[in-house]
Amino acid sequence: MKWKIFLLIFVICFVAFCGCTFNKNNNVEENREFKVVPANEKTFKEFVKKSTNNNYYGVYNIFSGFKVAATNVKQNVNIEDIKFGVSLDSNIVERYSKTNVQVEGIDEADIIKTDGNYIYFTPLWSYIVKSNLNYPYSYRVTYIIKALPPESAKVINNISKGGNLYLYKDNLIIINYNKILNYNVSNPKNPVLKWDMDLNGSYVDSRVYNGKLYLIVSKNDLICPIIWNDVKINYNKYYIPIVPNSILNNFDRTYIISSIDIDSGKINNVIATSGTYDTTVYMSKNNIYFAYHLIPNENKLFLNFLKENSHKYFPENIANLIDKILEDKLFGDEAKFVEIRTILNAYFKTLPSEERLNLINKINKDYEIYLEKHWEELEKTGIMKIDINTFEVKSGSVPGRLINQFAMDEHNNYLRVATTIGNYWKFRDKTTNNIYVLDKNLNIVGKLTNLEKGERIYAVRFLGDKAFVITYKETDPLLVIDLKNPKSPKLLGELKIPGYTTYLHPIGDNKLIGIGKDDDGRIKISLFDVSNYSNPKELDKYKLPEYWSPALYNHHAFLWDEDKNIMVIPVETHAYIFKIENDRITMVKDDKHKSNVLRSLYINNYIYTFSNNEMHIIDENNWSVIKKVDFT
């Protein structure tokens, strides 16, 4: 019985991180490039065949019947666009907040939008309705709220559709689970549907810029040509990923990327590509960057490890049998695993338990070194760069994995990317964090690697020629990185404090707000001074008793009023309002709702807070709630 346990340990360690082919000199194969290329009928069919045949076999799966796949870690701001002024008439809009976005001027979808006069809000819950046939169905609504004057604010209408919202001039765009709908809201009391469009897939992400909606949807199949909303996507508009053998070809879905004229609903440009489930989208004023995590090809790595080392661990007759199987081109990977399993099972039965254990320990140790040495080449993120005007495509890759959209930033025609290498349980103590700079063709031209070994990135913010990176394991280092010379990034300074930060927001020229958790798991707000890049400081912190806020992982839930230095954070049923003054964080209002608070915004000198059930309006002059509007 013991030898079976030892064998299971051996094979699990063998394949836990598999993924790369190596040549006889133990070097990574020469073809390391990731790229996407337009397909043709032949190459598309070959690509689909490779993708659908790429299953996880894994040596331990073949020996023991278990299957283990790599684990992943996933999560998701420029200062808000603000109009300033002081109004004596509560009906006049002098200033209002917009959705907190990554790139100023590029809007992101959210559940709430305002033009200062009217608010459009989709709660997260759904109405449940029973039809005449007694089949229940659900739908979400979008409330249209007259915001001014605040004392008499009220819901004036609702649309029986809800979801992700955009407000562009007189266009209210609603993206729900199966449609895009554009309503003319020039008369908010009577919204009129201008056009609608089927998603024909699952919503992934979107942006609005200069009158166009940039949309990404996914389909759980690999098909070409595709008819998407009456537009035919031919092979030359379908970009297939080409990966080295070191990367698992597990592209199991199609992504459709389009630009749509907001006024007319006309599709201006559309392309398709294949990708993995783990995607990140960032958009600058020039390009869309569509990135996805690429994992190692564990089958190839295991076979090559055996090929390189079987004579080191096994008798000549066993090693020769393994070589013969590996070199047989008539065998597929699965058949090779089955044959090798039979041979090794028989061989291990002949060994005394102590000898077997020593051999397993030796193989485990060597294999871990082997993997660690090459892991940078085994785990990658592929990146597509799509020109927003021409939809011309370029591609490249970086080692590691992105934490969210803030891990990418375009500046002066360079793309800066922050990644963590080692996104697998076996490497949790051996992770490294890195900054890569890519040129306009997505070639890596500069890098800063091996930052904070054993930790992983929790938050990133690129601001001009600087990057601010939060990593975490037991403490929360804030790293300040100089990117003035794109070809030679440099670490300028760091600050280590307890807990961790998941979101960084710039305030002014030399301060950052950090939203995260303290070492006890409770929410912590930090105020950082980064005026001295070599010596960043935590000026103040404020701890809350709760453990969760949507602002931890959704920057749209964070509100910053730059004019008044006011910050609002939703935490469970509270909208906590803070004032940041004289380098101190002070709570000025705890606005309590009946259900979890979702969002907040400001219009003139009033803060509006929203939960699924109600809206509160708070006067910033005395922090009193002057109006409540019930949605139920």
pLDDT digits (tens, 9 = 90+) for 242-269: 998 778 888 999 999 999 999 999 999 9
Token representation of residue 143: 């409330």
Choose between 437 and 427: higher pLDDT: 437
State how far the alpha carbon of 495 is from the alpha carbons of 162, 261, 318, 483, 535, in Å: 43, 46, 55, 19, 7
Residues 6+ apart with CB under 8 A from 547: 517, 521, 522, 523
Residues 6+ apart with CB under 8 A from 187: none
Which of the four pLDDT bands, split at 50, 70 and 90, describes residue 118? very high
352-391 burial by CB neighbour count: b if 16+ within 10 A, else e? eeeebbebbeebeeebbebbeebbbbbbbbbbbbbebeeb
Using CB atoms within 10 A of its CB, is residue 585 exposed (0-12), middle (13-18) or buried (19+)? middle
DSSP codes, 199-229: --SEEEEEEEETTEEEEEEEESS--SSEEET
Q: What are phi and psi of 338, to 5 degrees?
A: -60, -45
pLDDT greater than 70 at residue 1 = no
Return the CA Rg of the chain.
Answer: 27
Average pLDDT, the chain: 88
Token representation of residue 230: 């009456």
User: 3-class SS at 105?
Assistant: coil
State the DSSP H helix or E strand holding residue 275, giving kind and residue range, or none if neither.
strand 267-275
Query: If you ran DSSP here, which 8-state letter would residue 72 be given?
Result: -
Token representation of residue 254: 């199609």
Which of the four pLDDT bands, split at 50, 70 and 90, describes residue 181? very high
What per-residue confidence (pLDDT) applies to 432?
93
Predicted confidence (pLDDT) per residue in 316-372, tens digit: 999 999 999 999 988 777 788 788 888 988 898 899 999 988 988 888 888 888 777
Q: Which amino acid is at 108?
A: E
- Closest residue by Cα to residue 281 from 482, 34, 109: 109
Cα separation, 159 vs 348, in Å, equals: 69
Token representation of residue 160: 């029986």
Strand ranges for 355-401 from DSSP E: 380-387, 393-399
145-164 burial by CB neighbour count: b if 16+ within 10 A, else e? bbbbbbeebeeebbbebbbb
Token representation of residue 41: 């009928």
The rounded Cα 264 to chain-centroid distance in angstroms is 31
| Residues 125, 612 contacting (CB under 8 angstroms) | yes
What per-residue confidence (pLDDT) applies to 573?
98
The rounded Cα 227 to chain-centroid distance in angstroms is 28
User: 116: left (phi > 0), else alpha (psi -120 to 50), else beta?
Assistant: left
Give every strand in the sheet of 253-261, ordered side by side.
35-38, 238-242, 267-275, 253-261, 212-219, 202-209
Predicted confidence (pLDDT) per residue in 501-560, tens digit: 999 999 998 999 999 999 999 999 999 999 999 999 999 999 999 999 999 999 999 999
Prediction pTM value: 0.88
Which of the four pLDDT bands, split at 50, 70 and 90, describes residue 427? low
pLDDT greater than 70 at residue 386 = yes
Least confident of 106-110, 263-267, 293-297, 477-481: 293-297
Cα separation, 489 vs 447, in Å, equals: 6
Question: Please, which residues bridge with residue 183 across strands?
Answer: 172, 193
Q: Which amino acid is at 482?
A: D
User: How do the residues of the chain divide into helix, strand and coil, expressed in percent and rounded to 5?
Assistant: 20, 45, 35
What per-residue confidence (pLDDT) applies to 227?
96
Cα separation, 270 vs 173, in Å, equals: 19
Token representation of residue 54: 């790429």
pLDDT greater than 60 at residue 567 = yes
470-474's contacts with Cβ under 8 Å and 24+ in sequence apart are 470/500, 470/501, 470/502, 470/504, 470/514, 470/516, 471/433, 472/499, 472/500, 472/501, 474/519
| Residues 214, 208 contacting (CB under 8 angstroms) | yes
